[in-house]
Amino acid sequence: MGANVDKTDHRNLGTKLTPEWFDHMNVNRSATERRTASYGGRRTVKKQWQAAWLVQAVRCIDLTTLAGDDTEGRVRRLCAKARQPIRADIKEALGLGDMRITTGAVCVYPTMVGHAVRALEGSGVPVASVATGFPTGLTPLPLRLAEIKYAVEQGAAEIDIVIAREQVLTQNWEALYDEVVQMRAACGDAHMKAILATGDLRTLSNVYKASMVAMQAGADFIKTSTGKEDANATLPVSLTMLRALRDYGDLTGETVGFKPAGGLKSAKDAMLWLIMVKEELGLRWMQPDLFRIGASSMLGDIERQLEHHVTGRYAASHRHTLA
């Protein structure tokens, strides 16, 4: 599906706040669940095509560590894996020996950004940083904006902001829009991913509306979850966000990316989300400039599945440790 060279400088320009684009929207949960239930059954990819899709999934992973005991050493090991996410012998057996394959990004806390930038120097792999009081987003707005600016100054090329869930739950769209606009401005040239924390938003209608407001405010990506909620990325939530993304594109001509995160752990998960993105938006959105997967343990399982494809044997999981 192409070398890892399609990260572009395209930015979502945003629009004025336009509630008439979303206020009337009510998402039917049962219909959404019926639609998503079909992805793992009748839409399948097998053999060498499955291997190709799994390699593509690797290119879309934001390899992530967001632990309280993160250290420079852990971040450096994560970055080494991001530089060479698939073992050289497996790449060779797949006929990809000369292809440059990296993960889409490395995602860390702001204080770890400098370590990651140094470890990834010359690799072309961008550093993403969570910010704005992650994961709750409940610190004062000036502090949230300062955190964005700090991460950018440290070298982050992408910022994963979190929205204030209260503004969605109270339908205060103007307040949500104004805050995200200010966050977008604080990002400067760094791409902004807006985390909706969908597990806290209660309804799929709220997910759709929050997606539209974030995109109108200039989000370059919309992202499902922090990974810290009780419920993280699910297929119904993701489908709702993809439909909002498609509607926004139809209304504005803008292309906005999508990032599921939280709870995606296996090669099977990667395939399900890739299939859904292709079904709903087409091949263009399967590229890492428009699709990312927030994950840490998933990469080890994908590498294990690729080894099985080329050898016919499953390796012990400890042979594909992440870091």
Q: What confidence tens digit (pLDDT) does each residue in 85-107 have?
A: 999 999 999 999 889 999 999 99
The residue whose two tokens read 């994950």 is: 295
Whether 178 is covered by a domain: the verdict is: yes
Per-residue pLDDT, 271: 94
Q: Name the band, by pLDDT with cuts 50, 70 and 90, for residue 322.
A: low
- Look up the pTM and report it: 0.94
Whether 44 is covered by a domain: the verdict is: yes
Q: Which residues contact 42 (CB under 8 A, 6 or more apart)?
A: none
User: Does the pLDDT at position 40 exceed 80?
Assistant: no
Mean pLDDT, rounded, of the chain: 93
145/43: higher pLDDT:
145
Whether 253 is covered by a domain: the verdict is: yes
Q: What confidence tens digit (pLDDT) does each residue in 101-126 have?
A: 999 999 999 999 999 999 999 999 99
Active site residues: 160, 223, 259
Whether 275 is covered by a domain: the verdict is: yes
Q: What confidence tens digit (pLDDT) does each residue in 213-256 have?
A: 999 999 999 999 999 998 899 999 999 999 999 999 999 999 99
Whether 245 is covered by a domain: the verdict is: yes
Tokens for 5?
């060279």
CATH assignment at residue 93: 3.20.20.70
Per-residue pLDDT, 7: 47
Whether 144 is covered by a domain: the verdict is: yes
Integer Cα distance of 95 and 309 in angstroms: 12
Per-residue pLDDT, 230: 87
> With pLDDT > 70 as the criterion, what percentage of the chain qualifies?
94
Integer Cα distance of 42 and 36 in angstroms: 11
**Average pLDDT value for residue range 164-176:** 98
Domain count, the chain: 1
Whether 167 is covered by a domain: the verdict is: yes
Whether 10 is covered by a domain: the verdict is: no
Order of strands across the sheet with 158-162?
257-259, 221-223, 191-195, 158-162, 127-130, 105-108, 61-64, 293-295
- Domain containing 279 equals 19-320
Q: Which residues contact 1 (CB under 8 A, 6 or more apart)?
A: 52, 55, 56, 59, 286, 287
Q: What confidence tens digit (pLDDT) does each residue in 280-317 have?
A: 999 999 999 999 999 888 999 999 999 999 998 876 66
Integer Cα distance of 2 and 60 in angstroms: 12
